[in-house]
């Protein structure tokens, strides 16, 4: 490129996306004089889903701004919690985020997930069709223009991933209301109505409390591993929620 030179300052939270030699403080960038600021930011490696306010010489500009010579551009991180206007808050998770999907469902958060790799174009199209925030650790996927909204998942550890998403989007938590296997909603059930689906040992030991309205999977008291109880308790303590529907047996 051989055009105007600008100075870019990327927020500390976003520097992991930028090449090592550009991570410290301000960096000079030569643009082509016709690309948008959004394109310039993306070509540095920062997904636009992660960029919050863009400032030129202290004033906010849209991503469509064409940078001119000598401008000082600041790229801020997204605001937390980040508002997602235009549809109920729901998510679509990339194929590598199965554990995160199950944990979000455990907390009652609508989290679609395909365990088979349907490919980037299909995932992006699904995000657009169902207006779901696409969660991924794949920057290339997040750059696809057709996604409705997206967010980079910063950690590769499920516990940190969950805190990242809950802190960023502040979804309403309703633990034990959603099927962890298929994302369907749970409805109250009693043992008699679902006894045919239960093994004998289960019938004797547990009280049924819910059944998935989508896949018929049955949930019963006492069957949750203690680590699931701990995940729910920690999330509710830090991010709120009713928590009152948890099985107590």
**Shortest distance, position 166 Cβ to Zn ion, whole Å:** 22
The enclosing H or E element of 26 equals: strand 26-30
* Residues 99, 158 contacting (CB under 8 angstroms): yes
Alpha-carbon torsion, ordered 224, 227, 229, 234, to 10 deg: -160
**Shortest distance, position 111 Cβ to Zn ion, whole Å:** 12
**Shortest distance, position 173 Cβ to Zn ion, whole Å:** 19
Query: Which residue spans within 160-220 are E strands per DSSP?
Result: 186-188, 208-212, 218-220
Which is nearer to Zn ion, 51 or 179 (by Cβ)? 179
Q: Going by C-beta distance under 8 Å and a sequence separation of 6 or more, which residues neighbour residue 30?
A: 1, 2, 3, 4, 5
Which is nearer to Zn ion, 10 or 189 (by Cβ)? 189
- Using CA atoms, how far residue 104 sits from 12, 127, 191, 239, in Å, is 28, 17, 27, 13
Alpha-carbon torsion, ordered 230, 100, 128, 83, to 10 deg: 50
Cβ-in-10-Å burial (0-12, 13-18, 19+) of 97 comes to buried
Which is nearer to Zn ion, 53 or 213 (by Cβ)? 213
Which is nearer to Zn ion, 209 or 239 (by Cβ)? 209
**Shortest distance, position 77 Cβ to Zn ion, whole Å:** 36
Which is nearer to Zn ion, 45 or 184 (by Cβ)? 184
**Shortest distance, position 110 Cβ to Zn ion, whole Å:** 13
Which is nearer to Zn ion, 177 or 203 (by Cβ)? 177
* Residues 183, 112 contacting (CB under 8 angstroms): yes
Residues that bind Zn ion (CB under 5 A): 179, 181-182, 184, 212, 214-215, 217
**Shortest distance, position 215 Cβ to Zn ion, whole Å:** 3
* Residues 13, 47 contacting (CB under 8 angstroms): no
User: Coil, strand, or helix at residue 90?
Assistant: coil
Which is nearer to Zn ion, 168 or 178 (by Cβ)? 178
**Shortest distance, position 34 Cβ to Zn ion, whole Å:** 51
């Amino acid at each position: 490129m051989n055009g105007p030179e600008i100075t870019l300052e990327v927020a500390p939270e976003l520097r992991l996306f930028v090449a090592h030699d550009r991570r410290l403080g301000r960096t000079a960038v030569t643009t082509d004089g016709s690309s948008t600021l959004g394109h310039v930011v993306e070509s540095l490696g920062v997904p636009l889903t992660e960029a919050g306010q863009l400032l030129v010489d202290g004033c906010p500009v849209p991503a469509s701004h064409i940078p001119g010579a000598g401008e000082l551009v600041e790229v801020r991180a997204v605001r937390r919690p980040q508002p997602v206007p235009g549809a109920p808050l729901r998510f679509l998770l990339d194929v590598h985020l199965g554990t995160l999907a199950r944990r979000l469902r455990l907390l009652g958060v609508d989290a679609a997930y395909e365990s088979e790799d349907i490919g980037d174009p299909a995932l992006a199209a699904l995000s657009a069709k169902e207006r779901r925030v696409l969660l991924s650790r794949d920057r290339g996927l997040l750059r696809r223009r057709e996604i409705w909204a997206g967010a980079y998942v910063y950690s590769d550890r499920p516990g940190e991933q969950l805190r990242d998403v809950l802190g960023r989007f502040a979804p309403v938590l309703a633990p034990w209301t959603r099927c962890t296997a298929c994302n369907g909603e749970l409805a109250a059930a009693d043992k008699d109505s679902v006894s045919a689906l239960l093994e004998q040992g289960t019938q004797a030991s547990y009280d049924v409390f819910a059944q998935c309205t989508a896949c018929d999977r049955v949930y019963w008291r006492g069957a949750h591993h203690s680590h699931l109880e701990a995940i729910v308790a920690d999330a509710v303590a830090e991010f709120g929620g009713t928590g009152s529907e948890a099985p107590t047996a």
